[in-house]
Each structure stands twice: as C-alpha cells, then as structure tokens.
Structure 1
Amino acid sequence: MPNVQTLDPSASPLSYFGAELRRVRESLGLKQSQLGSMLYCSGSLIGQIETTKKVPTREFAEALDRALRTDGLFSRLIGLVLRSQLPSWFRPYADMEEKAAYISTFQSQVVYGLLQTEEYARALIGMEHPREVDEMVAARLERQRVLEREDPPVLWVVLSEAVLHQEVGGPDVMRGQLARLLEFRDNPWVNIQVLPFTAGQYPAMLGSFNLLRFDNDPDLFYAESYDQGHMTANPSVIKERSVGYARLQATALSPEDSAAMITRVMEERYGNRS
C-alpha cells in the first residue's frame, strides 16, 4: 500500500480525508478492493484517494457515509477538501462569497461561476488547467451549493450580451448553459439581466467585478486579473462601483426581456428546438 507511512493527516484537508478513510476502512477490516466493490468503484480508486493522488467528489463522500455508516463524517469533510482545490488567491473571495447576504456581479466575458454548468466550467478550466480540471470543476460546483441553502444569498447578475455569443465548449455546451440560466427565471433570489450590444458604451467596460453585501460586515468589492484577485472594503471604491452597478442595471434589459434574449440566442445560434 503506497505512501501509508508517509501520509501526513495534518498536511491538508485532502490528506486528512485520506487518512480518515484509511482509518475507518481498516477498523472495519476491509481491503481497498472490498470497499471499492461496496461503492461500485475500483480498489485502485480507494487507494488513490487515501494517498491524496485523487480528489474525492461530494457524491463519493456521501456514498462512503452510507456504506460505512459514518454518520456524515466524510460529507462534512468534503467541503473543506474541495475548497482547498481552489486557487490560493481565490479562496479569500470564496470564503466571503459563502457568507454574503447579497451578491451583485457584472460579467463581460463568461457566465458567473455560481451559475455555470459542469460542462461549461470544464471547458473553461480545461483550457488553463488541463491536469487539474476534475478537481477544480468539483470545487466550482461545490461553491454553487450556497444557492441551495435554506437562506440563500440574493444574487443579481448582469451579463454582457457577448457572454451569450462567446462559444465555450461547443454548441451543445452553450445550449445547456443558456438553458441553465433560464432555469432561474422563477427563482425569487436570483435575477439575471443581459446588457445588450445596443447599449453602446457603459460603466465597467474595463472588466467584470463583484459586490458583496453582508448582514453585519462592511461591503466588499472584488475584481480579478489573469492570475490574482483584488478585494477591498474601501468606502470610496464601494460607493463608486455601487453607482456604476446601478447604472448597469438601469441600462440592461429587464429580467423578462433578458430571458427572451437568452431564449432567442439559444434557439438561433445553438440550435435549440424545444
């Protein structure tokens, strides 16, 4: 069994997950192949997860809890494991995003991460991180669980029309992604507006940005460049960007007209016939 002696449970959340998996498995007298059979996977996969060579998914963690009757142990750990797969410079924002009561985002090029389908996210991430695509996609999907809480944040999204036309992953992926956006039409906590090309010049033409509001903490402004993010609570920046965002909302199509545009682009550009 490779790396059993050298694995340090304190090295990372992934190491701790692997160590706990091995501890529970061995306490039950199960071989890796036996546990794999119980989970309908290979013993090799169990070994890879125990030795941190592969990152488990949430589905795997929940299946472990059911098979080993561990009272949610691995389901509780998996959030930390997947969060650790996010780029280090992005984690502070992800932590604040999870705590926010109100998220406002303007996206000029791609769909906001909380609304991406798995296929769309995979196509985006695969371009820059082909060796880590599985782990990073799983981490992105884990972020989306914030919208499934009993008390989800209010999410207001303004998308440039360019986002609808920039083909990511091919027509099928784009069709699925635009259909995903339309699923939020009746969600009271998610509002999506499209800023049409006909708007001409507009605030924030220099790039995407997010505003986070909290119940008991100062507002935050966040923007990112190619390989790093910038977050600030500077009141003057918050004031300036809040006014700019209000102008974007006023210039963009209404949520109803935005849904109509998304539907039209999905049908005409990506061949949807439903």
Structure 2
Amino acid sequence: MTHIRDLDPSASPLDYYGAELRRLREAADLNQKQLGSIIYCTGSLVGQIETARKVPTREFSERVDAALGTEGAMSRLVGLVLRSQLPSWFREYAELEARATYISTYQAQVVYGLLQTTAYARALLEVDNPGKVDEMVAARLDRQRILAQDTPPVLWVVLDESVLLRDVGGRKVMRDQLAHLLDFLQRPWVKIQVLPFTVGQHTGMMGSFTLLRSDQDPDLLYVESYDSGHVTANSTVIRERSLGYARLQAAALSPEDSAALIARVMEERYGHQSGPDEQDVA
C-alpha cells in the first residue's frame, strides 16, 4: 500500500481531489487495493492519486463515481484538476475557448490543440516538459471535450502547409495525426483548410493567432509567445485580424482540396514503409 501522508486540501485542486478520494474510499470501508479492483486499476495507482503524486484521468473519476455512488462529484472535480495542469498563463484562454461558440484559428507550426492526437500532443509536450508530460497531455486532451458537446462550437482552422510536413514524433505519429484530421470531414461544424507554400507572403506571417466569438464575451483575439499568452478585445485589433483571417481563408485551399492534400501527404510522406527515422511514441 502506498504510504499515507497528510494532504492540505487547500494546497491545490490535485491535493483536494486526493483528500476527497481518500475520504470517500474510507467512508465506503474500502482499502486502496479493494477500490482498485472495483475500478479496474491497481491499489498503487489509487494510492498515488490519493497522495497527489499522480493526476487522475476523467475515466478514472467516472469509475470512482460509479463505484462509490458519489453522483458525479469526482467527475466534476477532475475538470478543475486537469485545468490546473495547464500553464498558468494559458488557463484564461482555455476557459474562454470552452465558452466560445465560434473559433477561428491560423496555425503556422503545429496542429491546433483541439485537433491533436494523444501521441502528437505527447511528442510536442515532452520536448520542454519531460517530467510532467502525462499531466499536460491529459489536460490538453480534456480541452477537446468541447467538440463532443451536444452543441459544439464551430471550429474553422487554417493550417500552414509546413504543419503537415514537420515530422512531430515520427512517421506513425504523423500518419495517425493526419488521418485524425481527415476524420473531421464528417463533422459539419469543423472546417480545415491548408494554406499552401505557393501563396508566398501572406497576412499570417507574424505567427499563429485565434479569434473567439461567444454569447458571453466580446469578440477576442488570442496570441502567445514562448511563455505567455495575450488576450485582447480591442475592437481595432479584432477588426484588423478578422480581415486578415478572411484573407487567409480566401488564399487557402478549399476544405475539399485541403483534405486531398492532407491525404496525399499522409500516404507519400508518412506511408507504411519503415526506416531508421521511425520514432513511434507510445
């Protein structure tokens, strides 16, 4: 059994979650191993989460709720825990993104976070966060839940062609990521366009940016640098970037032609042939 240590529930959402899990388990007169067997995990994992040494997943929380009859309490709490794993400067944007009804984004280097696969996100995040990659991947994937809502936001993404060609994580990771993008063809509220190299100079060359529209907030522009994010509702800036985004959409390939290019790159650049540069990520 994992060594029991005192937790300060007020220290962080993760500590609070651990303390609540322990309280509820003990109230049910179960030890860690017994609870683990009920929710199909090890007692050690239960102990690590209770002592705030490991971040719980949403699936783990749902199983705890079902096992202990907590009426969704842990599933609600895990959202706070996962958001707390995001960089502090990014949390405001994540909250605004979750409330948005229309998201327009231009991505110059990587696939937008809401469309990333687990392996692609892991390959990106482990570059600078090798000791915290599991937690950060879980937090990034949790953001994607807004696309599974009954009324998801409209998401329009313009990807620079370089995003398709930059080998993130190895051939298999990229093949699966591009296939994942193609899966969104079946979702009418998600549109993906590719801005080809042949366009030359364009209005997005200063870098990636995102426009958010919602019923609760004014129209917003989000941009980020290496260690900070900036949100503005300045009407002049919003007008300028909205026009810039419309120009990017007009210059980019149509969604249908973009899908054809994505499929071609997936097969020609990341096909099933193996080689010494293969870097599959678990």
Q: Could you say which TM-score interval applies, normalised by the shorter chain?
A: over 0.9
Alignment of 1:139-154 (within 5 A): 139-154=139-154
Bigger shift: 31-40 or 148-157? 31-40
User: How far 1:38 sits from its partner (Å)?
Assistant: 1.8
| Matched residue, 2:95 | 95
User: How far 1:3 sits from its partner (Å)?
Assistant: 5.3
Unpaired segments ≥5 residues, structure 2: 274-282
| Matched residue, 1:251 | 251
Identity %: 68
Q: Which amino acid aligns with 2:153?
A: P
Cα distance between partner residues in 2 of 1:228 and 1:31: 43
Q: Which amino acid aligns with 2:149?
A: R
- Structure 1 residue runs of 4 or more that deviate by more than 4 Å after TM superposition: none
Cα distance between partner residues in 2 of 1:222 and 1:179: 27
Alignment pair present for 1:133 and 2:133? yes
User: How far 1:41 sits from its partner (Å)?
Assistant: 2.0
Cα distance between partner residues in 2 of 1:202 and 1:161: 13
Q: Which amino acid aligns with 1:109?
A: Q
Cα distance between partner residues in 1 of 2:105 and 2:90: 16
- TM (normalized to structure 1)? 0.96
| Matched residue, 1:64 | 64
Superposition RMSD on alpha carbons, in Å? 1.2
Q: Which amino acid aligns with 1:103?
A: I
Work out whether residues 266 and 272 of structure 1, in 8 Å CA contact, stay in contact via their aligned partners in 2: no
Cα distance between partner residues in 2 of 1:222 and 1:244: 14
SS of match in other structure, 1:76: helix
Count of matched residue positions in the alignment of Structure 1 and Structure 2: 272
Alignment pair present for 1:12 and 2:16? no
SS of match in other structure, 2:130: coil
Cα distance between partner residues in 1 of 2:28 and 2:214: 45
Alignment pair present for 1:120 and 2:94? no
SS of match in other structure, 1:183: helix
| Matched residue, 2:276 | none
User: How far 1:272 sits from its partner (Å)?
Assistant: 5.3
User: How far 1:23 sits from its partner (Å)?
Assistant: 0.6
| Matched residue, 1:172 | 172
| Matched residue, 2:263 | 263
User: How far 1:34 sits from its partner (Å)?
Assistant: 1.5
Cα distance between partner residues in 2 of 1:221 and 1:187: 25
Work out whether residues 99 and 216 of structure 2, in 8 Å CA contact, stay in contact via their aligned partners in 1: no
Alignment pair present for 1:156 and 2:141? no
SS of match in other structure, 2:184: coil
Alignment pair present for 1:235 and 2:235? yes
Cα distance between partner residues in 2 of 1:159 and 1:66: 41
What whole-Å deviation, never above 9, does each CA across 1:38-77 have from its counterpart, x for those lacking one? 2232222111111111100111111111222222111111
SS of match in other structure, 1:156: strand
| Matched residue, 2:77 | 77
What whole-Å deviation, never above 9, does each CA across 1:119-169 have from its counterpart, x for those lacking one? 000000011101100000000000000011111111000000000000000
Alignment pair present for 1:28 and 2:28? yes
Cα distance between partner residues in 2 of 1:217 and 1:25: 40
Cα distance between partner residues in 1 of 2:259 and 2:81: 36
- TM (normalized to structure 2)? 0.94
User: How far 1:186 sits from its partner (Å)?
Assistant: 2.2
